[in-house]
Amino acid sequence: MSDLLVIAFDDEASGFELRAELVKLQAEYLIKLEDAVVVTRPSAEDIQLHQAMNLTAAGAVGGTFWGTLVGLLFLNPLVGAAVGAGSGALAGYLTDYGINDDFMREVGHKVTPGGSAVFLLIREMTGDKVLERIADFHKRGRVIQSSLSNEDEAKLREALAGQTTPIVPNTAATPDSNG
């Protein structure tokens, strides 16, 4: 099961910086993200979603490939590519993968105008290493929504608040067998 995490910032740049850092952490296999969306609030009424992946474009590319392949077998390849691209783009547009857009807009109203929020759907995470790396965002971000355990959420809040207590994984100490 995945965990939902929403971290808000008073400026837009910090939200994009955090998402970029988390993408780097994902490349290092320290976190597995299902979705990472930055929501900005340029004005009191306006909420904008900045998806990490454009599903419409991805659907059009995939549809073009499959449409061309089917077109080669049965029809004209150009007609197949056009039909495939159109149907793939429509399917991508209608697909709401990851975090629900309406939910993000609703929670986005908790963000101060001019600010941003990062919505994360986390499949797996090496908590101590991730928290260590995002500690640079301390005193800028605040958790506004979370499905983490109370203990993990408290550690995250401490890291974002710039607390000096080290984040140590829960490991039982074993006595040295050599004496």
Question: pLDDT tens digits for 114-124?
Answer: 999 999 988 88
Over residues 73-98, mean pLDDT: 58
Give the model's pLDDT for residue 155.
Answer: 82
Give pTM, 2 decimals.
Answer: 0.66
Q: What is the reported pLDDT for 113?
A: 92
Looking at per-residue pLDDT, the higher value among 54 and 62 belongs to 62
What's the confidence (pLDDT) of residue 55? 46
Q: What is the C-alpha to C-alpha distance for residues 57 and 44, in angstroms, rounded to an integer?
A: 30
Which pLDDT value is given to residue 78?
A: 63
Q: Which regions of the chain carry the CATH code 3.30.70.260? A: 3-47+109-161
Cα gap 4→156, rounded to integer Å: 13
Burial class (CB in 10 A: 0-12, 13-18, 19+), 65: middle
Q: At 9, which amino acid appears? A: F
Quick check: 128 and 168 in contact, CB under 8 A? yes
Topology of domain 3-47+109-161 in CATH is Alpha-Beta Plaits (3.30.70)
Single out the residue of 13, 12, 26, 11 nearest to residue 120, CA to CA. 26
DSSP-assigned letter for residue 178: T
Q: How far apart are CA 40 and CA 3, in angstroms?
A: 21
Q: Look over the chain and give the mean of its residue pLDDT values, rounded to a whole number.
A: 74
Q: Which amino acid is at 116?
A: S
